[in-house]
Amino acid sequence: MTEFIHHIPALIIVIPLLWGFATPLIGRLSKKGMYAWVVTALAITEALTIAQIYLVLTQGTQVYVMGGATYNTTIPPDSGGIPVRIILTVDAFSAFMAFTAATVTLAGGIYSITSEEGTSGESMYYTLLLLMLSGMLGMVMTGDLFNFFVFLEINSLASAGLIAYRVGKGISVEAAFKYAIISSVGALIYLFGVGILYGEYDALNLAMVASRMQFTGLDKVVMALFTVALAMKAGSVPLHYWVPDAYGKAPGAISAILVTASQASLYALFRVCFSLFGLGSNTLTTGWFLISLGLLSMFVGVTMALIQTDIKRLMAYHAISQTGYMLLGVGVGLATLGTAAFSQYGLQAMEGGIFHIINHAMYKGLLFLTAGAVIYRLGTSDLNKMGGLAHNMKYTTVFFMIGALSIAGIPPFNGFASKLMIYESTYLFNPILSIIAIVVSVLTLASFVKVFHSAFMGPKLYDVKEVPKAMLVGMAILTSLIILFGLFPNIAIQYLVGPAAKALANQAAYISSVMGGA
Amino acid sequence: MVGALNTYVTPSGFWNPILWLIAFLISLLLAYIIWSRGEKSYKKETEQVKPFFAGNVIESKERAHVRAHNIYWGFVEALRPYYMALKRIHTGDVNDYVAWFIGVTSFMLIIYFLWGVKP
Amino acid sequence: MVETEKKVMARKLGRLVRAVWIFNWFNSCGCTELLPVVSSRYDMERFGLIIVDNPKHADCLIITGYQTIKSIKRVVRIYNQMPDPKVVMALGSCPITGGMYWDSYNTIKRLSDYIPVHMYVPGCPPRPEAVFQAVGLLVEHVRKLKEEVSRK
Amino acid sequence: MMYVLLALYIIAAPFIVGALGILYGMVLKGIDRKLTARMQGRVGPPLRQPFYDVLKLLEKECIIPENAVKWLFNAAPLIALAASITTLLYLPIGPFPPLFSGNGDLIVILYLLEVPCLAILAGGFAAGSPYSTVGSQREMVLMISCEFPLAAAIIALAWKYSSIYPGLKAFSLTTFVNNPIWNNVGVLGFIGVGILLIVMLALSTSGLGRLPFDIAEAGTEISGGMLVEYTGRNLGILYINDAVRVVVFATLINAMFFPYKLSPLIANYVALPLAASLTIDFLFYLFKVFLIAFVTVTLMRVAFPRYRVDDVVKFYWGIAGLATLAALILIVMDTFFGW
């Protein structure tokens, strides 16, 4: 049994990959069998990620060498000090992100059993879904720069295919086309940076390159290429234009999972800024880069969302503005890295930013699922054609209210817990930051009140029934986590977010976990 | 004395969600006590339940529902110039997206070359 | 009236009288004399009477002046939209008998054909004191009702 | 044993604070109507008028409109009143520290001030009538515009406290009460905090939805705005909620800007037992709350006509917003250069 535990990191990536490609076979046998097959795959991955978090908390960073003699010989004896193979380094931050991605995909998978029923090519849908999940988990857990590019490509292509799943008279295909172009441009620029690093330090492992980094002129080029390419993939403002198109046109559950896909790129941006360049680079500049991205994303995202009339585009703009909160939180942590201020409020700012990642994944996933439910029943996503759904879609209305209240940061829910941490730590760095953050959270509330009114309130215009059970189960999973994190933020901080923040901030530990030869 | 419960502490503040929820439920009970003393009955299905529209009748249910596009007129009107500029930037053309990407990359290149690394 | 219903009505009216919220339907000459009732000269707020802006909040509907055929439809609808224990006060001679428009083709002659009117305040236009006398009569009526109920 | 005591304390706290908020709020409303009348040369209603109003409202029929979403329509006033009462738990009542001190700070209060407005707004939308929808939208615009100066004022003061007392929790109200802001600011800081005080007074007028900024329940324009469809006991609860919110806003401003006590002054003349000094401080607190409520509600109601909707946004994001940013800069200069 102990042998199996060491292989968990690899299993987490491989299970969705293999089970995804086996789905069309099962699908040919029986529809019900395929649903069971997919849900068990997602459930097993979810359980493994939880086990992984437990392992990382108890035994520290998990290192797994793909194809090595034993699971943790990172530097083979005859390689002269260079970790040759692909190494999965799973520290607390990666385990945290893997858990987030697996939970939202589980909820989305259960949700799409009924929401995608009867559509043509359903088994391909589930294959791409599991492929996308393995791409995300790979991006989050790999310690190898090039391997990250490979998983980034898997994830981008799978989600481009899924966005175009419902052709929707060609509009979704156009959105998927834009998403594919932007992802490939970003990924190739990232690959170009990896090429430069490989040329300079003839190593691809992130920890290895970080330990050998001398910050030459070329490294500054790489810094620029990495940070901006990953910022685009994460969807921050000056480069956010693809987000409303991609999320707005994807089918119900996919836009919820796309949120965690762009959060995986956000993870990569933080990993690059903290672990690859770390204290060698001028953390004030990279910190201010993240903070200014955050401020722009917050304000422009929410002001654009206020005037949208399409329910999914409005929520897409909110995904951008909430990503701004994470960038702000972690950016303040990065800007104060290494100084005395870091221990005073920098670490808590990072904790707020990272806690906001999982909170955002939960309530944004829930909101996209409720939007999918409304579209599933009404067929249109235009807010002007909706009205009075609360009369007979009771559960969806309650789920939507919980999601809207938590995204707006209203006290008892989880959005408030992470935003409170961000407000009360970033203002010490610069008071303007948290003033803008508070104003943006009220504007978020305003736009969701608008959706709440035009879609759910008003006289009974359509006699629609409640959405089928599986969709409600999908939403219930995310709602229970929202309420859990809302009422017990201490537990989330102590077990999930605190170790993740410390692991991210501690570059030396990351390098020693790989180079030190566990 | 009340701090015995595990309060969620931030660098310059604190917040206890469960305590608030208990207090909220109790004050909800207090409000319900006052509320329940009032009159419950009303004449169903009469003219009484029609929405007040200055004495006129709203022809159909569609017209009674205010649609989404004319919401927050006040706010959008006050920030009119800002919103005009914002709408112009969001062109929806992939070439502009990539152009923005190249622009921001070159800008960040200059920033990193100037202050990218600690001297 | 059954015994308990009278007691309930006494309690309701007893409370209503001390804080009458008025929805005014001033739409003709009848109301010109009534502005001092609201302003500082006669100040009706002394007795807890204030003007509210929609019938759903109001207890007392004051209708002044003649009602045309078109406007009476609105009046009936507004009367129905007011929540119970409500009172209607017709001011001026026009709603009582049609006033000087008694023979015109488009006004209605008697308001009480359309909605139950509780108090008539004659005068064209009626004096502000007449309005207070009407409210006084309402208070008097309620006091008598209470005594009768408490005696039983 | 300790937990039983704690449980009793937690259960009793909302009732104590609720009683104070409701009773004193209604008394303040009565005084406010009396003073407004007197300022307009009228005699004005008796002081007990708000109690009569509520008793009458509880007797009237409680109509639920046909388009309304029934459960939300009835729940909204209750949630609003409950949230207003819980806000009082985090505010210092006169000499006594907040009942839940150490469990909620200024940012929590900032959001708890929003929850009642949000509940009434949701109720207005749930009513499904055009007037109430337009009213609720305007209330949302009012909330957006108030947020910027309110957040800026709170952050500026908290930033000031964090730079003077790094050890203390800058957002907790006990820090505000124990060391009043006026004593530890230089000249520039004094002007800055003065500006913040004026902006906070304007904000409390719009937070309560009173005349210059009552675009949400504009009587003449949209005849009752959000509250159009509410009748009977629902309207009674909203009436009480409005009264409680006057006490909440006045206590917040009192705690932030005037946390002074009267008993130390009297103590050096005549020896005061503890009970006497507490009652004096409590009465002084009630008087301060009345003064603040008089300035923010009565004076503004008598002096100003109603703003247009977009002018409200321009005022709060333009004039008041720039004023708070200027105050922030003054406070920052005061801290760094110590003028």
List pLDDT tens digits, range A426-483. Answer: 999 999 999 999 999 999 999 999 999 888 988 888 888 888 888 999 999 999 999 9
Measured between CA atoms, how close is A361 to chain D, in angstroms? 22
Mean pLDDT calculated for residue range A206-231: 90
Claim to verify: residue B51 and residue B32 sit in the same structural domain: no
Give Cα D123 distance to the centre of its chain.
20
Q: How confident is the model at residue D313 (pLDDT cuts 50, 70, 90)?
A: confident
Q: Which residues of A touch D108 (CB under 8 A)?
A: 411, 420
Question: Choosing among B16, B20, B62, B105, which should be mutated to test the A contact, i.e. which has the most A CBs within 10 A?
Answer: B105
Mean pLDDT calculated for residue range C11-39: 82
B4 has a pLDDT exceeding 60: no
pLDDT at A145: 92
pLDDT at C3: 67
* Cβ density class B32-53: b for 16+ within 10 Å, e for less: eebbeebbeebeeeeebbbbbb
Inter-chain CB proximity D125 and A409 less than 8 Å: no
Mean pLDDT calculated for residue range D140-169: 90
Average pLDDT, chain D: 89
Claim to verify: residue B55 and residue B110 sit in the same structural domain: yes
Inter-chain CB proximity C40 and D41 less than 8 Å: yes
For the stretch C92-142, pLDDT in tens is 888 888 888 888 888 888 888 889 998 888 888 888 888 888 888 888 888
Q: How confident is the model at residue A282 (pLDDT cuts 50, 70, 90)?
A: confident
Of the given ranges (A109-113, A369-373, C6-10), which has the lowest mean pLDDT?
C6-10
CB pairs under 8 A between C and D: 76
Q: How confident is the model at residue D339 (pLDDT cuts 50, 70, 90)?
A: low
Q: Does C84 reach chain B within 8 Å, measured CB to CB?
A: yes
Q: Does B74 reach chain A within 8 Å, measured CB to CB?
A: no
* Angstrom distances, CA of residue D307 to CA of A250, A256, D136, D218: 43, 42, 16, 10
Q: Does C77 reach chain D within 8 Å, measured CB to CB?
A: no
E runs forming strands in C12-86: 21-26, 50-51, 60-64
Of the given ranges (A478-487, C34-43, D24-33, D321-330), which has the lowest mean pLDDT?
C34-43
Give Cα A318 distance to the centre of its chain.
14
Mean pLDDT calculated for residue range B8-20: 87
D310 has a pLDDT exceeding 90: no
Mean pLDDT calculated for residue range C32-53: 83
D199 has a pLDDT exceeding 90: yes
Q: Which residues of B touch D18 (CB under 8 A)?
A: 27, 30
Chains that touch A (3 or more CB pairs under 8 A): B, D
Claim to verify: residue B51 and residue B20 sit in the same structural domain: no
Interface pTM, i.e. ipTM: 0.92
Domain layout of chain A by residue ranges:
282-487
Q: Which of D230, D238, D234 is nearest to D128 (CA)?
A: D230
Does residue B41 form part of some domain? no
Q: Which residues of C touch D216 (CB under 8 A)?
A: none
Domain layout of chain D by residue ranges:
17-337
Measured between CA atoms, how close is D324 to chain C, in angstroms? 36
Of the given ranges (A283-287, D69-73, D218-222, D224-228), which has the lowest mean pLDDT?
D218-222
The 3 state secondary structure assigned to A301-334 is HHHHHHCCCEHHHHHHHHHHHHHHHHHHHHHHHH
Q: Which of A390, B44, A485 is nearest to D72 (CA)?
A: A390
Reported pTM: 0.93
pLDDT at A81: 76
Q: Does A139 reach chain D within 8 Å, measured CB to CB?
A: no
Angle at A27 between CA A26 and CA A32, to 5 degrees: 95
Select the highest-mean-pLDDT range: A214-218, B82-86, D209-213. B82-86
Q: Is D258 helix (H, G, I), strand (E, B) or coil?
A: coil
Inter-chain CB proximity B52 and D223 less than 8 Å: yes
Q: Does A438 reach chain D within 8 Å, measured CB to CB?
A: yes
Q: Does B18 reach chain A within 8 Å, measured CB to CB?
A: yes
Residue D282, H or E segment: helix D274-293
Q: How confident is the model at residue C2 (pLDDT cuts 50, 70, 90)?
A: low
A159 has a pLDDT exceeding 60: yes
Mean pLDDT calculated for residue range D307-324: 89
Give Cα A12 distance to the centre of its chain.
16
Burial of D145: CB neighbours in 10 Å, binned 0-12, 13-18, 19+ = buried
Residue-number span of the structural domain to which B54 is assigned: 47-115
Inter-chain CB proximity C84 and B43 less than 8 Å: yes
Q: Which residues of A touch D167 (CB under 8 A)?
A: none
Question: Choosing among C7, C11, C15, C78, which should be mutated to test the D contact, i.e. which has the most D CBs within 10 A?
Answer: C15
Q: Does B98 reach chain A within 8 Å, measured CB to CB?
A: yes
Touching, C vs B (3+ Cβ pairs under 8 A): yes
Name the residue with higher pLDDT: D3 or C1: D3
pLDDT at A192: 95
Number of domains in chain B: 2
Q: How confident is the model at residue A512 (pLDDT cuts 50, 70, 90)?
A: confident
Does residue B42 form part of some domain? no
Claim to verify: residue B32 and residue B51 sit in the same structural domain: no
Chains that touch D (3 or more CB pairs under 8 A): A, B, C
Separation of alpha carbons C147 and D205, rounded Å: 45
Q: How confident is the model at residue C31 (pLDDT cuts 50, 70, 90)?
A: confident
Name, in order, each residue with C-beta under 8 angstroms of C8's C-beta and a sequence gap of 6 or more.
Answer: none
pLDDT at C1: 54
Task: Tell me the sheet residues that pair with C51.
Answer: C22
pLDDT at B14: 86
Q: Does D46 reach chain B within 8 Å, measured CB to CB?
A: no
CB pairs under 8 A between B and C: 26
Mean pLDDT calculated for residue range D42-68: 90
A98 has a pLDDT exceeding 80: yes
pLDDT at B3: 47
Mean pLDDT calculated for residue range A368-395: 89
C69 has a pLDDT exceeding 70: yes
Inter-chain CB proximity B26 and D144 less than 8 Å: no
Of the given ranges (A135-144, D101-110, D150-159, D279-288), which has the lowest mean pLDDT?
D101-110
Name, in order, each residue with C-beta under 8 angstroms of A86's C-beta and a sequence gap of 6 or more.
Answer: A65, A66, A67, A142, A144, A147
Does residue B8 form part of some domain? yes
Separation of alpha carbons B3 and C128, rounded Å: 62
Of the given ranges (A439-443, A462-466, C27-31, C145-149), which has the lowest mean pLDDT?
C27-31
Q: Does D298 reach chain B within 8 Å, measured CB to CB?
A: no
Mean pLDDT calculated for residue range A510-518: 76
Chain C 102-141, CB below 8 Å of chain D: which residues? none
Mean pLDDT calculated for residue range A258-264: 93
pLDDT at A379: 86
Q: How confident is the model at residue A186 (pLDDT cuts 50, 70, 90)?
A: very high
A518 has a pLDDT exceeding 60: no
Separation of alpha carbons A303 and D138, rounded Å: 17
Average pLDDT, chain B: 85
First-to-last alpha carbon distance for chain B, in angstroms, is 52
pLDDT at A370: 93
pLDDT at A407: 93
The domains located in chain C, with CATH, are 3-151 (3.40.50.12280)
D205 has a pLDDT exceeding 60: yes
Angle at B17 between CA D168 and CA A257, to 5 degrees: 110
A342 has a pLDDT exceeding 50: yes
